[in-house]
Amino acid sequence: MNNNRKKVVNYYQNPESRWGYTFLTWDTKHFGYYPFQNSHITERKAQELMMDLLAKKLDLKKADLVLDAGCGRGTTSCYLGKKYRSKLIGIDIVPFEVEIAKRKAKELGLTKQVKFYLQDYSKISFPNNYFDKIFTLETLVHSPNIKKTLREFHRILKPDGKIVLFEYSRSKDIEFNQWEKKMFDLICKESAMTSFFTMFHHTLPKNIKSAGFKILSDQDITEHMLPSLKRFYNYAIIPYQIIKLLHLQKYFINTTAAVEYHNTIKKGLGRYRIFVAEKK
């Protein structure tokens, strides 16, 4: 197991991550989409709206074979498979989460339609020109080399195939104050978000293009995920005061991220973007 892979697995295996993704986000590892910041909807509904938005951006069809790159516990693939009847393959490097995904597909009667494999999306076993569509949903930050990962996506995508990336981008270091930069670096390191260090607002689209894709749209939906981020901030802010006082941020990285990343986004140092691109 390479070093980056080990860090990602360790992050998702730690108790704070396991319990948080089980009880606070119900096996879903992405933010919700709120049509308006004062939308009176539940977080679960907002998560469904985010997945529906993904389906819309993918222009999902029943005949499509779609790769969920970084599938986690399989919630998104199972939702899309059940609602839109597409065929999906999910891959992830965290063993226990792939097993949860497989059980989820079995429980929902989707095993012929939705399949999950333990694989690294930077070195995928599928042949050239295999998938009709590919997506990532807040997972590209874990890539050890974003340029290599994007080239791998290009290789396995069919000509004129579509790729959709729901991902974060960040400001340059000079725009952060000392504390913000310290916390950003700590969150990236302890959450194994290796590529987030280099996913600058201006370089992310350049990396997508250099991998051989033509960008069809680049949409900033930060304002639509802020209510979701605020929800986690509200959960975390009180315990974080103790964590911060005792300098224990690295041991409670999700609680730390819920507060510090919320502040970063609110200040405009981070964005949540949707890239839609096609293979040239």
Question: Average pLDDT of each block of 10 consecutive residues along the chain (280 residues)?
Answer: 92 97 96 88 96 98 96 98 97 98 98 97 96 98 97 98 98 98 98 97 98 98 96 97 98 98 96 97
Rg (the chain; Cα; Å):
18
10 Å CB burial of residue 39 (0-12, 13-18, 19+) is middle
Residue 243 lies in a domain: no
Range of the domain at 102: 3-174+194-222+269-279
So what's the pLDDT on residue 245?
A: 98
Say what the pLDDT of residue 39 is.
82
pLDDT at position 92: 98
Nearest partner of 208 among 258, 261, 134, judged by Cα: 134
- At residue 36, the pLDDT reads 85
Structural domain includes residue 28: yes
Instruction: Indicate whether 184 belongs to any domain.
Output: no
Report if residue 182 sits inside a domain: no
Q: Is residue 155 part of a domain?
A: yes
Query: Is residue 257 assigned to a domain?
Result: no
Inter-helix orientation angle 253-266/178-190, to 10°: 130
* pLDDT on residue 280: 86
179 falls within a domain: no
Indicate which CATH number applies to the domain containing 156: 3.40.50.150
What's the total number of domains in the chain?
1
Q: What is the pLDDT of residue 13?
A: 97
